[in-house]
């Protein structure tokens, strides 16, 4: 068997530790001047691909892919610093891609780049759609194992443990296949300085949507985005008497 | 938590649970019992600022194992038998208590242990959070205005009642709790922010405002409080100013002597010193407020401060390095100033021993694969993340190619940033894990900063007190600290407190520091713990001048007695 040719799609999203704010127009989340990082689930996917190689599974190459604004290249570089071999960036500043559009795009990447394993995050933390992996499996007609918490590959055979309600489920399938990653799969590594330097020299191909034959036009329109109502803060009382009168005031006693 | 990032906290929780489980299993080894009654101990729990207190005899109190009931903290008067209660101070009577009750006019403003038993309630005010010091106060007063403070002090001064000012009680040298029956004057009810100027960034607030609340208030306007430290969730800004706290942002924003623009304070005779200036420049006479900054409440009580807050930086980056030698650390520090100049906001040093303690105590994974004798943490804060990344990248490339730095990682997201900081901030707690720790907080000229740790380790190796097995009291000697401020934390992690260890350390450490014109207390102050050692850092002339000042402002000596100089 020839080795694994892995594709890992990554997305640049608002850092999960940052509290997102709705923009003034109430149409989307404010992204200007907000710290962005790699979607955490995608970090798990990269880590898993690199660990497969480190576990002596024959890996031919790890390709990282992203579609989005120019800054997404930083995310691709980070993935390469973690251990991916090369990157493709479809530069798209304006159109916000929907899961189906991304899945169609990825299908073409898989075919053009002759991939036999795709590891995706189970969802991106900005739109929480959680659809791309499944759609891609459907479009390619490949087996899929979603929400993986453990992945082992021997020869053509993939064994994936996934977390389901009340326990775990173990799936087996033959390559090629689609895996989506869940939180307990691994703990992503830090990008080390020497690897960050090396990543700068790794090949990164820049493409546009026109290089692929896909229809990515939007099918959905965001009508309105609103923040949840703010929590009403509690009050403090000075002493027991204060508390009793407060409780009376509220009709609790 | 908004829905778009709801899934990740789950991961964080898992890791926390993991750590908690590890700690639990290690707990029986821990001989220092944690404070259990203090309402804010959990906030302090994981952020214990570098406790500096020299190995006081309080440490040596045999503590019953945690399996039995909570051990009582030994009274400070027992651990310091040389300190006698000053008989000129009046003992509290029921009349005094009545006076204060009438004055404050609020049941909750007085904790009265004189006319009734309130020992449980008083305990939190009498003992410090490290459970090293315990006073015998029977009265706690919580005034809510400067006028009330003034009237309390005037009365105490007239009646010769000793007073112990208290903020968040997070001090590390026993300065915030009484020794005998001093009245505890707690500022927690004076907690209003008086004003914030959106243009200049000047904050005016009561002394009892919690540091974190002050910082959050400044953050709302896009500013940052110029002080940050581990105990920020409990400590009060009045106490921070009174102790001239240092902390993590000092390298960037300077000390409180520069950032505090004005003060409101009450002198022992009741005089209200209204110097709540909001001017950056004011060359009109002696700058008396400086005496209260770091005065540890021995001249008067600070009731409000005005402080200038710098702009908050939206872009923060953190890198963590492994280095082969201390010379390389010095070189890296020099280069970081050259390349990162205005965006450099922290340069912290950790030796390999400190990182091992952290790893072994918490079960956390260290960021680097290989092992190096020294580690550094660098933080940059700036206004534009693209510019900052460019500078940081140039710097990283430089130190890597010059082989100043052997290996390193850069935080790619906020989570990694926090776990890198944890490698530095977690050391203090980790060093207590095996039973106890002797801590020193020292200023030493940079070229010799680490020599002390190396020499100290040699000392314990040659005298046979340090070893792998349990019959050696010393587990390890580690050094870490604020490299950018020439501030070293020397920690001697021990399995049990032992007189022989203490004898090997003191006064040797102080003499070592004195020879190099260092300071025996860089940022934690004198309090009770360092009082008798101040001569190692200050000449007789200096001490005489200080005592003269004390006599001018507090002729009766009622303010925070038995401590400081």
pLDDT (tens digit, 9 = 90+) per residue, B449-506?
999 999 999 999 999 999 988 899 999 999 999 998 999 999 999 998 888 898 899 8
State the pLDDT at residue B132. 81
What's A126's domain CATH number?
3.40.50.620
State the pLDDT at residue B40. 37
Percent of chain B with pLDDT over 70: 87
> Comparing B507 with B31, which gets the higher pLDDT?
B507
Among the ranges given (A8-17, A140-149, A220-229), the one the predictor scored with the smallest mean pLDDT: A220-229
Quick one: pLDDT band at residue A11, thresholds 50, 70, 90?
very high
CA distance A144 to chain B (A): 22
Among the ranges given (A61-75, B37-51, B243-257, B487-501), the one the predictor scored with the smallest mean pLDDT: B37-51
> Average pLDDT of chain A?
92
Domain B193-308: which CATH number of 3.10.20.90, 1.10.10.10, 3.30.465.10, 3.40.50.80: 3.30.465.10
> Average pLDDT of chain B?
86
Query: Over 90: is that where the pLDDT of A142 sits?
Result: yes
Q: Is B400 on the interface with A (CB under 8 A)?
A: yes
State the pLDDT at residue B321. 94
State the pLDDT at residue B16. 36
Domains in chain B: boundaries: 1-30, 193-308, 315-411, 428-526
CA distance B8 to chain A (A): 7
Among the ranges given (A239-243, B154-158, B166-170), the one the predictor scored with the smallest mean pLDDT: A239-243
| Token reading at B355 | 């990182």
State the pLDDT at residue B484. 87
Q: Is B384 on the interface with A (CB under 8 A)?
A: no
Query: Over 80: is that where the pLDDT of B23 sits?
Result: no
CB contact under 8 A, B414 and A16: yes
CA angle B348, B350, B353 (to 5 degrees): 170
Among B253, B478, B241, residue whose Cα is nearest residue B379: B253
CA angle A250, A251, A253 (to 5 degrees): 115
Number of structural domains, chain A? 1
Which CATH number is B315-411 given?
Answer: 3.30.70.2190
CB contact under 8 A, A191 and B409: yes
Fold of B428-526: Alpha-Beta Plaits (3.30.70)
Quick one: pLDDT band at residue B68, thresholds 50, 70, 90?
very low
- pLDDT tens column, A90-122: 999 888 899 999 999 999 999 999 999 999 999
ipTM at complex level: 0.77
State the pLDDT at residue B18. 38
State the pLDDT at residue A211. 94
Among the ranges given (A225-239, B407-421, B546-560), the one the predictor scored with the smallest mean pLDDT: A225-239
Q: Is B39 on the interface with A (CB under 8 A)?
A: no
CB contact under 8 A, A192 and B407: yes
Q: Is B164 helix (H, G, I), strand (E, B) or coil?
A: strand
State the pLDDT at residue B498. 84
Among B74, B35, B81, B82, residue whose Cα is nearest residue B58: B74
Query: Over 60: is that where the pLDDT of B394 sits?
Result: yes
Domain encompassing residue A55: 4-249
Quick one: pLDDT band at residue B11, thresholds 50, 70, 90?
very low
The shares of helix, strand and coil residues in chain A, as percent rounded to the nearest 5, are 30, 30, 40
Cα atoms in the 13 Å half-sphere on the side-chain side of B305: 31
Q: Is A233 on the interface with B (CB under 8 A)?
A: no
In B197-283 the beta strands, taken as DSSP E runs, fall at: 202-206, 260-266, 272-275
User: Hey, which residues 67-126 in chain A have their CB within 8 Å of chain B?
Assistant: 78, 123, 125-126
Among B170, B192, B301, B288, residue whose Cα is nearest residue B238: B301
Residue located via tokens 């990269």? A46
State the pLDDT at residue A32. 85
Among B528, B439, B486, residue whose Cα is nearest residue B52: B439
State the pLDDT at residue B438. 87
Cis before A167? omega within 30: no
Question: How many other C-beta atoms lie within 10 A of the C-beta of residue B324?
Answer: 15
Question: How many other C-beta atoms lie within 10 A of the C-beta of residue A24?
Answer: 7
Mutation target among A11, A81, A193 for the B interface, most CBs of B within 10 A: A193
Residue located via tokens 């390389």? B328
Quick one: pLDDT band at residue B270, thresholds 50, 70, 90?
very high
Same topology between domain B315-411 and domain B428-526: yes
Q: Is B210 on the interface with A (CB under 8 A)?
A: no
Burial A172-188 (b: 16+ CB within 10 A, else e): ebebbbbbbbbbbbbeb
User: Hey, which residues 330-369 in chain B have their CB within 8 Å of chain A?
Assistant: 365, 367-369
Across A8-18, average pLDDT: 93
> Nearest chain A Cα to B394, which residue?
A197
> Nearest chain B Cα to A20, which residue?
B2
Q: Is A197 on the interface with B (CB under 8 A)?
A: yes
CB contact under 8 A, A29 and B369: no
CA distance B415 to chain A (A): 7
Among the ranges given (B162-166, B245-249, B554-558), the one the predictor scored with the smallest mean pLDDT: B245-249
Quick one: pLDDT band at residue B8, thresholds 50, 70, 90?
very low
Query: Over 50: is that where the pLDDT of B26 sits?
Result: no
Quick one: pLDDT band at residue A230, thresholds 50, 70, 90?
confident
Mutation target among B3, B7, B388, B398 for the A interface, most CBs of A within 10 A: B7
Q: Is A225 on the interface with B (CB under 8 A)?
A: no
């Amino acid at each position: 068997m020839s080795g694994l040719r892995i594709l890992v799609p990554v997305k640049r999203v608002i850092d999960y530790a940052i509290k997102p704010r709705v923009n003034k127009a109430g149409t989307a989340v404010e992204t200007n001047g907000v710290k962005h990082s790699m979607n955490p689930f995608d970090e798990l996917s990269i880590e898993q691909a690199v660990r497969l190689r480190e576990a002596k599974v024959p890996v031919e190459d790890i390709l990282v892919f992203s579609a989005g604004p120019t800054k997404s290249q930083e995310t691709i570089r980070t993935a390469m610093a973690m251990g991916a071999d090369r990157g493709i960036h479809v530069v798209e500043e304006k159109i916000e891609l929907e899961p189906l559009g991304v899945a169609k795009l990825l299908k073409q990447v898989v075919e053009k780049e002759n991939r036999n394993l795709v590891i995706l995050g189970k969802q991106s933390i900005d739109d929480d759609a959680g659809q791309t992996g499944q759609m891609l499996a459907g479009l390619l007609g490949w087996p899929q194992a979603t929400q993986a918490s453990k992945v082992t590959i021997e020869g053509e055979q993939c064994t994936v443990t996934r977390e389901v309600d009340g326990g775990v489920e173990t799936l087996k399938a033959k390559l090629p296949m689609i895996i989506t990653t869940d939180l307990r799969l691994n703990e992503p590594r830090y990008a080390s300085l020497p690897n960050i330097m090396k990543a700068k020299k790794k090949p990164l191909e820049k493409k546009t949507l026109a290089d692929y034959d896909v229809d990515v036009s939007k099918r959905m329109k965001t009508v309105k985005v609103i923040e949840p109502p703010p929590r009403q803060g509690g009050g403090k009382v000075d002493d027991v008497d204060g508390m009793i009168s407060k409780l009376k005031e509220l009709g609790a006693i | 938590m908004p829905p778009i990032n709801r899934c990740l906290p789950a991961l964080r929780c898992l890791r926390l649970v993991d750590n908690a489980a590890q700690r639990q299993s290690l707990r029986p080894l821990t001989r220092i019992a944690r404070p259990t009654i203090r309402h804010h101990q959990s906030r302090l729990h994981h952020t214990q600022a570098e406790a500096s207190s020299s190995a006081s005899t309080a440490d040596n109190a045999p503590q019953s194992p945690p399996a039995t009931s909570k051990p009582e903290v030994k009274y400070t008067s027992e651990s310091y038998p040389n300190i006698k209660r000053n008989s000129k101070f009046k003992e509290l009577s029921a009349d005094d208590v009545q006076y204060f009750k009438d004055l404050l006019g609020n049941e909750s403003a007085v904790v009265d242990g004189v006319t009734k038993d309130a020992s449980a309630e008083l305990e939190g005010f009498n003992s410090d959070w490290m459970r090293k010091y315990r006073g015998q106060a029977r009265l706690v007063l919580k005034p809510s205005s400067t006028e009330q403070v003034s009237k309390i002090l005037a009365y105490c001064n007239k009646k010769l009642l000793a007073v112990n000012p208290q903020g968040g009680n997070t001090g590390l040298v026993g300065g915030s709790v009484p020794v005998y029956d001093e009245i505890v004057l707690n500022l927690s009810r004076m907690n209003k922010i008086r004003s914030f100027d959106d243009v200049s960034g000047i904050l005016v607030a009561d002394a009892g405002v919690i540091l974190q609340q002050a910082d959050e208030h400044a953050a709302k306007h896009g500013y940052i409080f110029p002080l940050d430290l581990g105990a920020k969730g409990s400590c009060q800004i009045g106490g921070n100013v009174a102790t001239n706290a240092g902390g993590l942002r000092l390298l960037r924003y300077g000390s409180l002597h520069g950032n505090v623009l004005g003060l409101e304070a009450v002198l022992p005779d009741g005089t209200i010193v209204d110097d709540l200036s909001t001017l950056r420049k004011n060359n009109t006479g002696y700058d008396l407020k400086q005496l209260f900054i770091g005065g540890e409440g021995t001249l008067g009580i600070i009731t409000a401060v005005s402080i200038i807050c710098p702009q908050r930086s939206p872009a923060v980056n953190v890198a963590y390095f492994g280095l082969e030698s201390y010379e390389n650390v010095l070189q890296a520090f020099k280069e970081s100033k050259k390349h990162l100049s205005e965006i450099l906001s922290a340069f912290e040093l950790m030796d390999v021993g400190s990182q091992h303690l952290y790893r072994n105590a918490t079960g956390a994974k260290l960021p680097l694969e290989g092992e190096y004798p020294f580690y550094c943490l660098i933080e940059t804060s700036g206004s534009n993340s693209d510019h900052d990344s460019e500078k940081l990248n140039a710097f990283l490339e430089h130190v890597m190619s010059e082989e100043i730095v052997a290996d390193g990682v850069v935080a790619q997201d906020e989570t990694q940033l926090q776990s890198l900081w944890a490698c530095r901030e977690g050391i203090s707690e980790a060093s207590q894990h095996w039973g106890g720790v002797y801590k020193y907080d020292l200023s030493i000229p940079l070229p010799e900063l680490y020599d002390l740790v190396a020499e100290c380790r040699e000392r314990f190796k040659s005298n046979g007190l340090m070893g792998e097995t349990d019959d050696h009291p010393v587990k390890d000697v580690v050094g870490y600290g604020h490299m950018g401020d020439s501030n070293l934390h020397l920690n001697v992690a021990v399995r049990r407190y032992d007189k022989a260890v203490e004898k090997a350390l003191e006064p040797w450490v102080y003499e070592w520091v004195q020879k190099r014109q260092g300071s025996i207390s860089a940022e934690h102050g004198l309090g009770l713990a360092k009082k008798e050692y101040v001569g190692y850092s200050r000449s007789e002339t200096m001490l005489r001048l200080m005592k003269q000042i004390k006599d001018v402002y507090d002729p009766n000596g009622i303010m925070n007695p038995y401590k400081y100089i």
